[in-house]
Amino acid sequence: MFYNFLTVAIRNAMRHKFYAIISLSSLAIGLTCAVLIMLSIRYEMSYDAFRPHANRVYRIMKRDVNARGQVEWRNALPVEMAAHLRHEYPEVEAVVQYRRITSWFRTEGRLFQQRLCQVDGDVVDFFGLGIIRGDAAALNRRDASIVLTQSGAKKLYGNTDPIGRTVEVQRETRILSFTVVAIMKDRPTNTRLELDSVTYFKSDNWAIRSAPIYVRLRPNADVAALERALAARFPSKSQDATYHLQALPRIHLYSRIDLEGFTGDSGMLYGDIRDLYPLSVLGLGILLIACINFMNLATARSAIRAREIGLRKVVGARRQHIMGQFLCESVLFTGVALPLSFGLTMLLLPQFSGLMGQPLVFTISDHVLWIVCIALITALVSGSYPAFYLSAQQPVDALKGLRNRFPGDLWLRKGLVVVQFAVSAILIASTLVVYQQMGLVHGKYLGFDRDQIVVVKIFGPDAEQIHLNGQYNAVKQRFLQHPNIVAAGTSLDLPGLGPVVLSAAGTDLKYLHLKIKSDRIRETMAFVEETWTHFIPTRPFEYFFIDDYIDSKYRREQRQGHIFTRSAIVAIVLACLGLAGLAAFAAEQRTREISIRKVLGAPASHLVVLIIRDFARLAVFASTIACPVGYFLMRDWLQNFAYRVDLGFFPFVVSVLGVVVATILVVGYQVYKAASANPAEVLRRE
């Protein structure tokens, strides 16, 4: 039976190639967007979920209230707590405490900066570090030992064997020597545990008084009871301290939800699960538009297939057989669109990965389960209404050439078109608002001129820099010798973090700010690097522009703007594809009427307007629905900014005009082709 269904489906697709191409294109584009967005969401939700027993690993967070009554969250906890957790709490299976500090690594003339992770506990087993070679257990037995990543070992030793070699690690004015005992795999990108290199607390290194603590609990352990026990055992001066055990896989996306009042820490940026909701809605919305195209074209062509359905019912076909036929057609179209979407996904993945700031990888074998689920859901959604609607045709009416008049048939099709238009209009308006706000952010005067300011971190506590800390004026004057450097200043911190108070400071400054002319920038930067080398010959040159630094604070919003823009383009393309099919079908159904009108003297333009009018009304109606929805969505989004644009009429007027103009152009082109046909030939065929 399935073979028969498939044969009929292929025959019908070949008979109506134009509509089949539109349906296939829509489904392929919709599936591509769904796959790309799902890859991004799965990446964000996979942070540290791959660690051994991740569902039983928790980070301990301390909640306290300061003297001003403000809530503070701390993850740096005393080393005594880790010791007590190991010996006094039977529900605790393992404990690891570690901190990471950025340090300079040097050996055999090579020098680079990375994080040194000092640990207390069996971190290799606890976090599942993949040891390639060497003896990682020596971390617990041997003083001043270190484990490096593959890439770190290659930077330091090239292609030679690093095991047993010595590496110097410098932190501020202290320089320590470590022996390489093992090499581990490079850490994955979807992790918050930046274990670039690992050494042990007990080494003769920098004093460790507090650091984050991770515990692995035994199965069925009472998490709430342990939290209460910690509050009783380790109270604070305010007597308001409580402890929260946060599951490892929830740290990246749920910290702002699990920890009320949490604003982050000095480590990696935190994600937010709520940021994934709009992305999910966009993906589902675009896929729904693609399904709507298939549904509309299938139901619109029902009159053509009315006699086929009637004959099949007369010879004994039941309704479930007819439904199976149309669902099989939907599955066929989706199955053909799926490999096309794979090709588009591979083509667009590098650009999408760069847009999202994620190293996304797409392999069919790794994602086959959820891809098949998406494809099946798409096939069922797109084929459901045509199957139910067309299978209900009465044989007598079908053989007479009549359509079963369901009261909601026409209105449902119009409603689906309205949904397409409304989604497109909302995305257009949202994109314009986002770009207006980003323009305000970039152009807002912050109290200083941020253009062409180079920041060089030439001062600091490290051994090579500390001798410059008392020579701020001398260093500035050396840089000011170049005619393209017009001003110089030093600061302890950088601007750009929400209010700022400026005060004079004579010591402990870190940053040198250089105002340069916009012409001959390359020549100027070469001089700056040369001067850096004069002062610090052992360190690589480091600099950044202050405007790039400030713009990086709005990277999330910029990414949202790019996503909205691309989503709006895709939604409009899909809507136009559906319009092209519906307009072509409408013109095809009225070719006789059009020909008679032309014979009687009606101009082609009048005939085009006659059909365009119905679609244009739908576009205007959809836009009137979309404008208030888009307004409230954008109003809520703008609340995240201290300075925001006025939410005026411009974005919504443009979105309405954009949808209406696109409708007129697409429908007008299809109808004009039909109206240009020779009426004599059309009437002869009739």
CA distances to 41, 195, 502 from 46, in Å: 9, 17, 42
Q: Above 70 in pLDDT, residue 493? A: yes
Which of 295, 299, 315 is closest to 392 using CA atoms?
Answer: 299
Q: Which of 489, 440, 374, 437 has its CA nearest to residue 42?
A: 374
Q: Report pLDDT digits (tens) over 550-603.
A: 888 778 778 878 888 888 888 888 888 887 777 777 776 667 667 777 777 666
| Eight-class DSSP state of 56 | G
* Interatomic CA distance for residues 648 and 634, integer angstroms: 11
Question: Could you tell me whether strands 110-120 and 166-171 are parallel, antiparallel, or unpaired per DSSP bridges?
Answer: unpaired
- pLDDT above 90 for 194: no
- Give the residue with greater pLDDT, 306 vs 556: 556
Q: What is the pLDDT of residues 371-380, one digit of tens each?
A: 888 888 888 8
Quickly count: other Cβ atoms within 10 Å of residue 472's Cβ: 18
CA distance 387 to 106: 70
CA gap 149, 184 in Å, rounded:
5
Average pLDDT (256-282) is 81
- The whole-number pLDDT of residue 304 equals 59
pLDDT at 141: 65
Instruction: Mark out the alpha helices in 16-107 (DSSP H runs).
Output: 17-45, 79-88
Which residues on adjacent β-strands are paired with residue 99? 118
Please compute the mean of the pLDDT values over residues 108-119 and round it to a whole number.
Answer: 85
What pLDDT was estimated at residue 226? 93
What's the CA angle centered on 620, arms 615 and 624, to 5 degrees? 145
- The token pair at 256 is 């702002």
CA angle 123, 61, 494 (to 5 degrees): 95
Listed residue (438, 416, 417, 420) closest to 565, CA to CA:
438
**DSSP helix/strand/coil, 686:** coil
Instruction: Tell me the pTM.
Output: 0.82
C-alpha span between 388 and 323 (Å, rounded): 6
Neighbours of 86 (CB within 10 A): 15
What's the token pair of residue 172? 């501020």
Q: How confident is the model at residue 245 (pLDDT cuts 50, 70, 90)?
A: very high
Token digits of residue 503 = 């005060």
> Would you say residue 668 has pLDDT above 90?
no
DSSP bridge partners of 60: 245
Q: Calculate mean pLDDT across residues 100-105.
A: 87
Nearest to 447 by CA among 386, 388, 397, 495: 495
| Residue 159 pLDDT level (bands cut at 50, 70, 90) | confident
Residue 175 sits at φ, ψ, to 5 deg, of: -125, 120
Residue 300 in contact with residue 403, Cβ under 8 Å?
Answer: no
Give the range among 30-34, 374-378, 534-538, 649-653 with minimum mean pLDDT: 374-378
Per-residue pLDDT, 58: 96
Task: Choose between 198 and 668: higher pLDDT.
Answer: 198
In tens, the pLDDT along 419-454 reads 888 888 888 888 888 888 888 877 777 777 778 899
pLDDT score recorded for residue 406? 47
Nearest to 141 by CA among 114, 194, 105, 179: 179
Percent of the chain with pLDDT over 90: 20
Q: Which class for 123: exposed (0-12), middle (13-18), buried (19 or more C-beta within 10 A)?
A: buried
The per-residue pLDDT for 70 is 80
For the segment 55-66, the average pLDDT, to the nearest whole number, is 91
Which residues neighbour 491 within 8 Å (Cβ) at sequence distance 6 or greater?
A: 509, 510, 511, 513
314's CB contacts (< 8 A; 6+ apart) are: 395, 399
Question: Hey, what are 73's tokens?
Answer: 């969250």
For the chain, what is the mean pLDDT?
Answer: 82
Least confident of 4-8, 81-85, 183-187, 593-597: 4-8
pLDDT at 223: 93
Q: 77-78 and 210-211 as β-strands: parallel, antiparallel, unpaired? A: antiparallel
In the chain, the percentage of residues whose pLDDT exceeds 70 is 83
Q: How far is CA 41 from CA 254, 316, 355, 542, in A?
A: 14, 48, 14, 34
- Give the mean pLDDT of 65-83: 84
Parallel, antiparallel, or unpaired for β 77-78 and 453-456? unpaired
Give first-to-last CA distance, the chain, whole Å: 36
Residue found under tokens 């070949």? 14
If one compares 260 and 3, the residue with the highest pLDDT of the two is: 260
CA gap 657, 464 in Å, rounded: 62
- State both tokens at 186: 């490079």
The pLDDT, as a whole number, for residue 204 is: 45
